[in-house]
């Protein structure tokens, strides 16, 4: 059994890790880290785990934990993982960081967008960006994995094949994203009260959301050169789910006459994702909807071509707490520990 | 592998059976019955099963199905199961009926509350009321199991120990129940449109809801004599979950001085449910909430004594589609087929 | 024009007062009190009032305000109004207190249920309980009005005629109430976050909610003697609305044979409420639903008799922020200032 | 008093007309047309109007109605108004059509997007597109007014000044819109059931939603030449509200150096909308949110410039049933009858 520790277990993503790992046949959770609730029963904060988790919460002592665990998940605010990680710890166990600390290779970009100093830039080179479908082989060998953001996972996976194959003009990419409220965390803020979120939709972080450079970096690798794009997240009155609606101009070899057809685009998606266990490619009779992925590790991806504007509209949906956080972290763990990639992640989506 | 057929697979309860059975290690679903969608892919109606279920829907031919299945779940409107069942079928496979056809032993009560003739009263004696925690031994031997209603499961389990032990006056029982909207089914009705249910709460079926006689019959067995009670269901703007708030006057041996204490009541619940895998008894620091059971087969039960009125208020919560329907049906199947009772039902609740 | 000041204008009830008073033809709001946001634009906290309210927030200086206002609404936590009111202030302007400070005549009951000392018990005698439909004449003459609680308004109005006329046994009253989340206020608490409230229903304050003694006191006046009852509130995932489902045993003059009929009960409701502008008596074809009163000052009341248990089930619905708080406060103001009682309160409910 | 008739009064937009007109000081509703509920009390379909509307529903006899009304609102499916209107009717009363029949000047565009033949193309020239802020003077003289669509009102008003002043490149416009579910109407469809819409977000009508040509036509007038754009609507789990997030590349006179600044854009919005009673221009500290406009006739508009991509992101919010339908229809009526434009439309938004 793999011994797993969770730092930040009482956040929504941390608790989702608990849910998934409890049902994982090869894992035992040995540490429920939560600075705010040390020595209190974990199940008192998350009543769903009554009778399932008897443990009390521990602090966030990464050093101590590294002696007891084979893998550590850090589901903590930006900066914490970077401030605690060291060679000693990494020599004993693998770390899967759900924060942004090791997602961006360029420390100056990190510091500009996150407004904090990076405490461990020496690990940026080593850290593997854990988007399994794209970096699978690197993840298998990694000891420090940067688990991608929720919006970014959905955005990158939705657009990656088109960028990689040069079917769209990268400078025209606009990503309009919508997220359920669990993405905003469990902190007690007026803006996230029921009555403030319910019966409302709003954009936030317009032009400056922190997931922007992460998407740009990864899609830039696919394009072969840096790119900039617009990313606008919205807060939707629902618990879970992210929907990405992405726009880009199609690019042809020979002008408009050479624009890719729907069949060609379907073929490209199939080429990249046809064998992916967690990506479901949609046919033209449906569009992506968050209800169909809730509680699961699936990403649903589909598209439409607009013959009038020569743009493609790609829509991707995932559960922000699963494929957008905890599920992908476990997928990364499976890869890094040589387990079947889907182990413990095959729960069907819950609907309604 | 047990071969399972589902009649009525495209209703919410039927689809929840699919979700649970897909993850069940000992079951294979061989028949997705849905009269309305014959020959259409099941996953077109339930996009969550894309990539998981390739089958098309079949009709509701119980006879044909009985040659291919070991167990048949009928998740259909009242009357259908009774109109199709016969000795031949029952000689080949077990039937777990999620409708009300075989829940009430007295055919006249059935016909009075359901306003239809009973087509197979000859099986009423044989049919076992599949409330596993109470009728476990009978379920094990049954070939025709009447799966209890959602409200009734929650109501009966919440009150059973108190009635059985004579701690409350049965004539004072009032059950005020609240249900998520999936309990209303997937039929296209104006009353169940999003804008009609959202931002609203209402009672319905006041004094005449069909689950009333079912609760009365089962609690009457516990009391040792017939009883009448009030049951009032409410429609709540949420997808899943039932909360029962039940009121009854405490009964003492020696007048008020002999009224049961909280400790005594806790002890009684523990006596009946202490070893039950799917019942979680709550301590006095919390009350039952539907969010903690969503997606799981748990029932959470707690209570408060009001020293001013000498009443006990019992609160029970479950997921109407799981313990209130499909989960309990699978629990019954496990019992009837000699499997561990919790097999395939140990998924932790999903929150948020 | 009546000059109105609001202490606690940035709570949900305070802001609802603003909404109603802005449309009131005889009132001008001169003071938007909010200790937390002094000197900040009121509309920054409540964007709905952009372009409608240019004022900044003031502090909660009741003394200063009393020189500028004809009426002061205190929509503040328990204790504040009692701690600030004095003869001087009351000589200059009327006070309508939306807190509980002056609702209970017995100071010891107040202190027992609210766990705070009462700072101004000398005004308890003078204060008028502002349930307009019942205390109309007293309200007209009052200078200190205790605006009833949201649950209490709905509970009392639903049951008052039956208690007053002796049609039910007061000792059997059980009130099961359900409220939208705005009743929980705008404080930043984890329990009221969107993801905690959404897809959930729970009871709270079971056996000890503070509105209990208020209901008991007022219904006790109707009964002619003290009574105790059960009151259980529930939190519902919706913004506004309270639904009360109340149970009581019918009482006859000559045993069961003399139990009141539905017609007799309809007649009694009509006798008490037939001319009330804000009470809508429902016929037997419908039950009360919160969606039909949202945004309005209406209370919808209906009932069912259960011939099997000889109980009556009364259902009442109102908007907790309007008839349950701000609307009723304005109704009281209208009475106290000699305006038509419905002035500024005739907005139709908003649906959906 | 203006006598108003409503054809299609039992749809959501029709019922919202009733709500607004009931509170309008200069209007009396004389006809509640609803083919499905002829002779049934209107308030039985919309319980919010109990005690407010005693009328029964009438049929959709435009001819008969035109003898009794001064203005007729047709809140009916596409095609109905066009099939009934004639010179006789128009000589007696004004018609404000909430359907799309007279919104598009080019009959072939109408027939292509709506897939029905236009029954009265002879009125297309005369009909005035009732977007009050832009066509105010024409509306005043009109007898046949095409009330704009909900998405279109929000989209056009958000972008109009920028297109008109040439600050953006019209060929780069992408409109990503989000709507509450009341926009889908009150028809009994599975897709609009509570459990299907709740906890879900999806795009629909991708590349082919019927509001697209309407937006293009109106913005084309502003640009001075035809344009094509992308419009993608999404269904959001809330009752009311539309949020438009629109993207476009800024256009300068002298290349990038000449790109408009935020101040210049603010100035342009102020120039066009500074005196508009129903448009609220937002400063940079906030973004448009649907909760702030609910129940009101306001449109909230704000924007951000992205200096990295040289795009502007404009966000606009309105209540789809008010400014997006019934409110704007009444605004048109006010103009057409010489009343103050804001008459009966000054209700503050309802929050929460």
Number of neighbouring beta carbons within 10 Å of residue D36: 11
On chain C, the residues whose CB falls within 8 A of the CB of A190 are 186-188
Contact C47 D350 (CB under 8 A): no
Chain C partners within 8 Å of D18 (Cβ): 348
Report the SS3 class of residue D144.
Answer: strand
Q: How many CB pairs under 8 A join A and B?
A: 84
Find chain C residues with C-beta within 8 A of B289's C-beta.
200-202
Average pLDDT over residues D79-102: 97
Residue A256: the pLDDT is: 67
Q: What is the pLDDT of residues C65-113, one digit of tens each?
A: 999 999 999 999 999 999 999 999 999 999 999 999 999 999 999 999 9
Instruction: Evaluate whether B262 touches C207 at the Cβ level (below 8 Å).
Output: no
Within an 8 Å CB–CB cutoff, is residue D40 touching chain B?
no
- The answer to whether B194 contacts D186, with C-beta atoms less than 8 Å apart, is no
pLDDT above 90: residue C255: no
Average pLDDT, chain A: 97
pLDDT tens, position by position, A258-269: 899 999 999 999
Please report residues of C whose CB lies closer than 8 A to that of D351.
15, 19, 46-48
In tens, the pLDDT along A293-321 reads 999 999 999 999 999 999 999 999 999 99
Strands C71-74 and C144-146 come out as unpaired
Given this model, what pLDDT does residue B252 score? Answer: 82
Strand ranges inside C26-139, DSSP E: 27-33, 71-74, 94-97, 128-129
Task: Decide if B239 and D188 are in contact by the 8 Å CB cutoff.
Answer: no
CA distances from B98 to B91, B129, B149 (A): 20, 11, 8
- Give the chain D residue nearest C199 (alpha carbons): D199
Alpha-carbon span B219 to A64, nearest angstrom: 54
Whether residue C24 contacts residue C334, with contact meaning beta carbons closer than 8 Å, is answered with no
Please confirm, yes or no, whether A57 is among the known catalytic residues: no
Q: Does A206 touch chain B (CB under 8 A)?
A: no
Which tens digit of pLDDT belongs to each residue from C14-30?
999 999 999 999 999 99
What's the mean pLDDT in A129-139? 98
As a whole number of angstroms, the distance between CA B327 and CA B98 comes to 11
Range B287-296 burial, b when 16+ CB lie within 10 A, else e: bbbbbbbbbb
In 3D space, the residue among B313, A237, A232, B344 whose CA is nearest the CA of residue C237 turns out to be A237
Q: Give the mean model confidence (pLDDT) for residues D90-109.
A: 97
pLDDT at residue number C258: 86
Q: Is the peptide bond before D352 cis (omega within 30 degrees of 0)?
A: yes
Closest CA–CA distance from residue A180 to any residue of chain C (Å) = 9
d(CA D281, CA A110): 34
| Residues of chain B neighbouring A320 (CB-CB closer than 8 A) | none
Query: Distance between CA C179 and CA D219 in Å, rounded?
Result: 46
**Residues C25, C14: Cα–Cα separation, whole Å:** 19
Q: B194–D189: do the CB atoms touch at under 8 Å?
A: no
List, in order, residues 6 or more apart from D131 with CB less than 8 Å away: D148, D153, D156, D157, D218, D328
**Residue ranges of E strands in B174-260:** 174-179, 202-203, 230-235, 242-249
Kindly report the average pLDDT of chain D as a whole number.
Answer: 97
Tell me the sheet residues that pair with A253.
A255
Task: Indicate yes or no: CB of B240 within 8 angstroms of CB of A49.
Answer: no
Q: How far apart are the first and last CA of chain B?
A: 34
Question: Percent helix, strand and coil across chain B, each rounded to 5?
Answer: 35, 20, 40
Q: What percent of chain C has pLDDT over 70?
A: 99
List the domains of chain B with CATH numbers: 2-126 (3.40.50.720), 151-319 (3.30.360.10)
What order do you get walking across the sheet with A71-74 strand by strand? A27-33, A2-7, A71-74, A94-97, A144-146, A128-129
Hey, is the C-beta of C188 within 8 angstroms of any chain A C-beta?
Answer: yes
Instruction: Give the mean model confidence (pLDDT) for residues C226-236.
Output: 98
Q: Tell me, rounded to whole angstroms, the distance of Cα B66 from its chain centroid.
A: 24
Residues of A in contact with C181 (CB under 8 A): 193-195, 198
**Mean pLDDT score, A208-233:** 98
**C-beta atoms of B193 and D196 within 8 A:** no
Burial (CB count within 10 angstroms: exposed 0-12, middle 13-18, buried 19+), residue B92: middle
Q: How far apart are CA C297 and CA A332, in angstroms?
A: 56
C288 vs C244: CA distance, rounded Å: 9
Contact check, Cβ <8 Å, B292/A239:
no
Beta bridge pairs of residue D299: D279, D318
The ipTM is 0.97
Dist. CA A157–CA A215, nearest whole Å: 10
How far apart CA A74 and CA A81 sit, in angstroms, is 7
Spatial contact of D73 and D329, defined as CB atoms under 8 Å apart: yes
Please check whether residue A138 touches B, CB under 8 A.
Answer: no
- Give the residue from C113, C151, C197, C202 with the most B CB atoms within 10 Å of its CB, the best one to mutate: C202
Q: Note whether A198 contacts C195, CB cutoff 8 Å.
A: no
Per the CB < 8 A criterion, the answer to whether B243 and B318 are in contact is: no
Distance from CA of B291 to the nearest CA of C (A): 5
Share of chain C above pLDDT 90, in %: 98
Catalytic residue among D150, D154, D195, D343: D150
D256 — pLDDT class (breaks 50, 70, 90): low
pLDDT at A258: 86
Closest approach of B176 to chain C, Cα-based (Å): 7
- Tokens at A290, concatenated: 């968050």
DSSP 8-state assignment for residue C181 = G
Dihedral sign of CA atoms A40, A43, A44, A45 in order: positive
Q: Which of C2, C167, C146 is nearest to C74 (CA)?
A: C146
Q: Tell me the shortest Cα–Cα distance from B69 to chain D, in angstroms.
A: 31
**SS3 of B343, please?**
coil
CB contact under 8 A, D311 and A230: yes
Q: State how far the Cα of B294 lies from the Cα of B317, in Å rounded to an integer.
A: 9
pLDDT for the residue D258: 86
Residue D267: other Cβ atoms inside 10 A: 14
Q: Do D350 and C298 touch (CB under 8 A)?
A: no
C-alpha span between D275 and D77 (Å, rounded): 34
B96, B20 Cβ separation under 8 angstroms: no
Q: Which two tokens stand for residue C72?
A: 């002061």
pLDDT score for A257: 72
Mean pLDDT of the residues in chain C: 97
CA distances from C282 to A335, B207, C247, D50, D336 (A): 63, 17, 17, 9, 39
pLDDT at res. D252: 83
User: How many helices and strands (H and E) does chain A possess?
Assistant: 12, 14
Torsion of the alpha carbons at A271, A276, A279 and A280, rounded to the nearest 10: 70
Q: What is the mean pLDDT of residues A10-34?
A: 98
Give the span between the Cα atoms of D328 and D98, in whole angstroms: 10
Res B148: pLDDT: 98
Are B238 and C199 a contacting pair at CB < 8 A? yes
User: Does A206 sit within 8 Å of D313, measured CB to CB?
Assistant: yes
Considering the candidates C150, C154, C195, C343, report the single residue annotated as catalytic. Answer: C150
Nearest-angstrom CA–CA distance, B116 and B118: 6
Considering only CB atoms, B291 lies closest to which of C200, C232, C289, namely C200
Nearest-by-CA chain A residue for C195: A239
DSSP state of D325: I
CB atoms near residue B108 (< 10 Å): 10
Report the candidate in B137, B98, B100 with the shortest Cα–Cα distance to residue B323. B98
- The counts of H helices and E strands in chain D are 12, 13
End-to-end CA distance of chain C: 34
For tokens 């754009």, name the residue.
D229
Alpha carbon of D295: minimum distance to chain C alpha carbons (Å): 7
Count of CB atoms situated within 10 Å of the CB of B284 = 11
DSSP state of C186: S
- Percent of chain D residues topping a pLDDT of 70: 99
Instruction: Give phi and psi for D236, each to the nearest 5.
Output: -110, 140
Instruction: Report in angstroms the alpha-carbon separations of B310 from A302, B262, C232, D94.
Output: 60, 12, 15, 68
A-D C-beta contacts closer than 8 Å: 147
User: Which pLDDT score is estimated for D300?
Assistant: 98
**Chain B within 8 Å of D45 (Cβ-Cβ)?**
no
Check residue A81 and give its pLDDT: 95
- In chain C, residues 296-315 whose CB comes closer than 8 Å to chain D: 296, 298, 300
Q: Does B195 touch chain D (CB under 8 A)?
A: yes
- Residues of A whose CB is below 8 A from B293: 48
Answer yes or no: do C193 and A196 touch at CB < 8 A: no
- On the question of a cis peptide bond just before residue A352, with omega within 30 degrees of 0, the verdict is yes
Across the interface, of D174, D200, D247, the residue whose CB is closest to A290 is D200
Token pair of C151, please? 């649950």
CB contact under 8 A, C346 and D23: yes
Indicate left, alpha or beta for A207 from its phi (over 0: left) and psi (-120 to 50: alpha).
left
Q: How many residues make up chain D in this entry?
A: 352
Query: Which residue out of A57, A93, A132, A150 is catalytically annotated?
Result: A150
Distance (Å) from the alpha carbon of C183 to chain A's nearest alpha carbon: 10
| A-C C-beta contacts closer than 8 Å | 58
Distances (CA, A) of C53 to A12, C29, C56, C345, D348: 38, 10, 9, 20, 10
State residue C256's pLDDT score. 67
pTM score > 0.90 for this model? Answer: yes
Distance CA B343, CA B29 (A): 16
Q: How far is CA D186 from the centre of its chain?
A: 18
Query: What parts of chain B have a pLDDT lower than 50?
Result: none
Question: Coil, strand or helix: which one is B123?
Answer: helix
Give the closest residue to A337 by CA, choosing from A145, A150, A67. Answer: A145
Does the CB of B125 have a partner CB in chain A at under 8 Å?
no
- Stretch A138-162: mean pLDDT: 98
Task: Find residue A247's DSSP bridge partners.
Answer: A174, A313
SS3 D278: coil
Please provide the DSSP assignment of A222-256 as one string. HHTS----EEEEEE-SSSS-EEEEEEEEB--EEEE
Nearest chain A alpha carbon to D292: A200
CA–CA distance, A112 with D307 (Å, rounded to integer)? 15
Instruction: State the pLDDT at residue A114.
Output: 96
Q: Is D243 helix (H, G, I), strand (E, B) or coil?
A: strand
Q: For residue C174, give the H/E element and its range.
A: strand C174-179
pLDDT tens digits, D285-297? 999 999 999 999 9
């Amino acid at each position: 059994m793999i011994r797993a520790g969770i730092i930040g277990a009482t956040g929504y993503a941390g608790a989702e890790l608990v849910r998934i790992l409890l049902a994982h046949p090869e894992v035992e959770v040995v540490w429920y880290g939560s600075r705010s609730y040390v020595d209190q029963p974990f199940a008192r904060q998350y009543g769903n785990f009554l009778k399932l988790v008897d443990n009390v919460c521990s602090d966030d002592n990464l050093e101590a934990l590294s002696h007891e665990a084979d893998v550590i998940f850090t589901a903590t605010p930006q900066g914490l993982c970077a401030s605690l990680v060291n060679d000693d710890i990494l020599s004993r166990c693998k770390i899967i960081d759900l924060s942004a600390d090791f997602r961006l290779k360029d420390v100056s970009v990190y510091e500009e967008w996150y407004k904090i100093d990076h405490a461990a830039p020496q690990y940026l080179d080593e850290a593997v960006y854990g988007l399994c479908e794209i970096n699978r082989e690197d993840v298998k060998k990694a000891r420090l994995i940067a688990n991608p953001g929720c919006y970014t996972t959905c955005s990158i996976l939705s657009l990656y094949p088109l960028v990689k194959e040069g079917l769209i003009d990268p400078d025209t990419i606009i990503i309009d994203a919508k997220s359920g409220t669990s993405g905003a965390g469990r902190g007690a803020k007026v803006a996230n009260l029921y009555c403030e979120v319910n019966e409302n939709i709003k954009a936030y972080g317009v032009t400056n959301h922190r997931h922007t450079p992460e998407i740009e970096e990864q899609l830039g690798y696919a394009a072969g050169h840096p790119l900039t794009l617009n990313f606008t997240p919205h807060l939707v009155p629902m618990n879970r789910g992210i929907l990405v609606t992405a726009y880009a101009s199609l690019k042809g070899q020979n002008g408009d006459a050479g624009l890719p057809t729907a069949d060609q685009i379907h073929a490209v998606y199939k080429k990249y994702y046809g064998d992916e266990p967690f990506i479901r490619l949609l046919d033209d009779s449906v569009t992506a909807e968050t209800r169909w992925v809730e509680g699961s590790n699936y990403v649903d991806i589909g598209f439409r071509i607009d013959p009038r504007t020569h743009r493609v509209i790609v829509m991707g949906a995932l559960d922000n707490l699963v494929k957008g956080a905890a599920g992908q972290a476990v997928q990364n763990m499976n890869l890094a520990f040589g387990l079947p990639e889907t182990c413990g992640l095959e729960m069907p989506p819950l609907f309604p």
